[in-house]
Structure 1
Amino acid sequence: MKKLLLSCLLLTATSAAFAQTAPAAETEAVKKTIQSFFEGMRKGDSTLVRTTLAPGAVFHTISTRNGQTQLRPENPSAFVKQVGTPHKEVYDERITFDKVLIDANLASVWTPYEFYLGNTFSHCGYNSFQLVKLTDGWKIAHIIDTRRKEKCK
């Protein structure tokens, strides 16, 4: 019985040690995917943005109009096309990583942001990303965000 208990304790300790070292690399890989997404936006590089998205990715935004909360779907293909279409101002979404949670091949990331068209503030809010780890790395499966012009951060 004591040997079984000792074996269980060692197995648990080994798993815990692995869990403490592996997530740091995975967390950085998840962040890199999101950073590449926004780098592509800033550069107007639709190819780079597209490489960060999982097949079948879904985008939503939450906004308030006339006092009513609305959930609006957005078309990822249209978004990628818009990013790659020449435009005067840089699309500059400035984020910070608030929370990164990972379990196996699923990651959930919470990022406050401020969005600028060139140097002009447009809006702010929070992004919630859901990522999946596929054979070619972490890919964005779902983005949902809030948008407002006041009470940022």
Structure 2
Amino acid sequence: MKKLFILFIALSLTTAKSFCQTTDRDDIKKTITTMFDAMRKGDSTMLRSVFAKRIVFQDVASKGGDNMVENENPDGFIKAVGTPHKDVWDERITWGDIKVDGPLASVWTPYKFYLGQAFSHCGIDYFQLLKTKAGWKIIYIIDTRRKDNCPE
């Protein structure tokens, strides 16, 4: 009976410990959620906190019937988020595919972007993140943008 009681206590402690630990996926979601919360709040300091120092921003554009990748300025985006603007920038995502291999993660998220309550555009956000001593940081973002045929 005493051995059974000790086994029960040991299993209870192990199970409780596993429930308290967050997973990499949880931490990755928290990093990305913080980015969108910062956009809604217009908080450039909060936004910068989830970006790696040399983050790369790109978007997929269609010009002249051909698709191309355009580079964007992350500092310009951070500044724009922190500059007072009339409408809340509200990007609403649906969690898609999250892949993790050690310190590298990729995340595919369909989104819809609203200026205040008005729909603006939709598409796919693709993130790459790096696990650092300070936690998961976004190192790369590329997205698509369109007004219709929005992904769910």
The Cα of 1:146 is off from its aligned counterpart by 0.4
Partner of 1:36: 34
Partner secondary structure for residue 37 of structure 2 = helix
The equivalent position to 2:136 in structure 1, one of 130, 135, 138, is 138
Amino acid at match of 1:124: C
Partner of 2:100: 102
1:20-99 correspondence to structure 2 within 5 Å: 25-99=23-97
Q: Which 4+ runs in 1 deviate beyond 3 A?
A: none
Amino acid at match of 1:94: R
Are the aligned partners of 1:63 and 1:148 in contact in 2 as well (CA < 8 Å)? no
How many residues align? The count is 132
Partner secondary structure for residue 50 of structure 1 = helix
Amino acid at match of 1:137: G
The Cα of 1:95 is off from its aligned counterpart by 0.3
Q: Structure 1 CA distance, aligned partners of 2:128 and 2:28?
A: 10
Q: Structure 2 CA distance, aligned partners of 1:99 and 1:70?
A: 24
Are the aligned partners of 1:125 and 1:146 in contact in 2 as well (CA < 8 Å)? yes
Unaligned runs of 5+ in 1: 1-20
Unaligned runs of 5+ in 2: 1-17
- TM-score normalised by length of structure 1: 0.83
Amino acid at match of 2:89: Y
- TM-score normalised by length of structure 2: 0.84
What are the superposed Cα offsets for residues 97-135 of structure 1, whole Å, 9 maximum, x if unpaired? 111100000000000000011111110000110000011
The Cα of 1:24 is off from its aligned counterpart by 6.3
* RMSD (Å), alpha carbons: 1.4
Q: Structure 1 CA distance, aligned partners of 2:22 and 2:139?
A: 21
Amino acid at match of 2:87: E
Distance 1:33 1:127, change over 3 A: same
The Cα of 1:96 is off from its aligned counterpart by 1.1
Amino acid at match of 2:25: T
